[in-house]
């Protein structure tokens, strides 16, 4: 079922749901997303073990078997990653609709029970959700522009503090930070600084 059908033709479309009902839908999607993420992480760990074993293995037949197993895990990982991308975008959609419900003043200004989302927008969103080339972050930006959600309401997105954590991970990836303990402390320090700066209005 596509996003448009999912939003409008189910027993009770999302546009007719209360805030609590939207929240339940959001939690269900988040639960499914967490399950997929755990599985992707598990497969990645298995691939690492297989790769390290293959690097040490000298028997050609065993190496070929390990290579095949590595490839199979990679295929499953890619399929699950696609599902994870889709579920993440669906969860973002429900989250944004819930926020519009909670902000009655904004809903009244735009004069629509779905905020700024019309049928044409829903069809466009469906294409974005199904596209593997569109990441959850890209989709969130497009959805926010459709809903005209201000930055103050984009709590589900990546904040400057969250970006600091990503920056530390990238530095670990490139070898600029090698000690995981020190990297954790640095990330924690940066996040705390961001929160302190926000509280002080800097």
pLDDT tens-place string over residues 77-123: 999 999 998 888 888 888 877 777 766 545 455 555 444 455 566 66
Whole-prediction pTM: 0.58
More confidently predicted of 189 and 19? 189
Domain residue spans of the chain:
3-154, 158-202
| Among 88, 86, 94, CA closest to 17 | 94
Two tokens, residue 54:
């293959």
């Amino acid at each position: 079922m596509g996003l448009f059908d999912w939003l409008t033709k189910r027993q009770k479309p999302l546009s007719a749901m209360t805030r609590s009902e939207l929240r339940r839908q959001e939690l269900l999607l988040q639960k499914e997303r967490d399950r997929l993420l755990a599985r992707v992480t598990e497969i990645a760990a298995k691939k690492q073990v297989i790769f390290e074993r293959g690097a040490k293995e000298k028997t050609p037949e065993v190496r070929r078997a390990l290579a095949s197993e590595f490839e199979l895990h990679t295929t499953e990982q890619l399929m699950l990653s696609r599902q994870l991308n889709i579920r993440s975008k669906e969860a973002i959609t429900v989250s944004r609709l819930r926020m519009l419900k909670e902000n009655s003043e904004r809903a009244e200004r735009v004069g629509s029970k779905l905020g700024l989302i019309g049928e044409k927008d829903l069809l466009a969103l469906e294409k974005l959700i199904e596209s593997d080339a569109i990441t959850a972050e890209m989709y969130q930006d497009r959805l926010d522009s459709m809903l005209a959600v201000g930055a103050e309401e984009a709590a589900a997105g990546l904040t400057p503090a969250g970006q600091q954590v990503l920056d530390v991970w990238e530095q670990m990836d490139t070898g600029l930070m090698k000690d995981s303990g020190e990297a954790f402390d640095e990330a924690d320090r940066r996040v705390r600084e961001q929160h302190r700066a926000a509280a002080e209005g800097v």
